[in-house]
Each structure stands twice: as C-alpha cells, then as structure tokens.
Amino acid sequence: MGIVTDRDLACRVVAHGLDPEATPASAVMSAPVVVAQADEPIESVVERMRAARVRRIPIVEHGKLVGVVSSDDLVLHLGRELEDLGQAAKHAIDERRRRARRERRREDFEESLAALRATVETSGREAVDFVTREFEALRERFRKKSG
C-alpha cells in the first residue's frame, strides 16, 4: 500500500525522465503510508505529519479511506481558529471597555449624589438656621409688645 502525490510525480517521474504512461504507480509511490484515524484530534494529526515529514495524510475510518488532510487544509483551519480567537479577544476587550464605562458612570453618579447630599444638608442647615433666627426675632418682638 502506498500513496502517490504531486511531489512523488515531480521527483520520481519527471526528474528522472520516466514515461508517465509506462511507469506504474507502485514504482513511484511513497510507502509505507502514514494515516490518521477520522476521530483523531487535529493536534495529533499535525504531529504525525510533522514526524513523517509529509504534507498530506490519508484519513481512515474502520480501515477505509474517508478523506485526505493536507497542510493547506491545516493552514486554513488554523486561520479560522486565529480569526475566532481574534473575534473572542475583540469581544472581551469591548466587554471590558463597556464595564469600565459603566463603572465610570456609576462613580460619576455616586460623586454627583454625594455632592447633592452635601448641598441638601447645607441648604437644610441654612434653612433651619434662617427659620430659627426668624422665630427668635418674632419671639423677641412679641415679648417687647407684650411686656
């Protein structure tokens, strides 16, 4: 069992000047074939390809070929994963910014509320002082008239 890739054709047929019509696949195939199982994690498939120094790997399930994974497929997959990570990072940054804005608004609200309380307390004391003075002035006038 073996596999014939474009590289095999270039290096073993064209480079040696062999007739592609007359050369059997068994003469140029790469063997033994390095395969991966269909349920195998991508990381394991990548490691197997790296160790075997191949750019394509047949995928088998129950001993039957179900597909081929190439390094180009892995680059596309990695690109999608990187894009997903970028989107997740952007979402996390946006969420942190929203939280920071909410926190700043809450702090601003608390400061405004504290300032309003202080104003109300000051105004209340001034009003009590004013009413007390007026009351005392009225009492004093009343005493003078009655007395």
Query: How far is residue 76 from each of residues 20, 87, 90, 128, measured CA to CA in Å?
Result: 32, 16, 21, 77
Residue 27 lies inside a defined structural domain of this protein: yes
Q: Assign residue 14 the CATH number of its domain.
A: 3.10.580.10
Number of domains in the chain: 1
Backbone angles phi, psi at 2, to 5 degrees: -160, -175
Q: Give pLDDT tens digits for 100-147.
A: 999 999 999 999 999 999 999 999 899 999 999 999 999 888 888 886
Q: Does the reported pTM lie above 0.85?
A: no
So what's the pLDDT on residue 142?
85
Domain that holds residue 24: 6-70
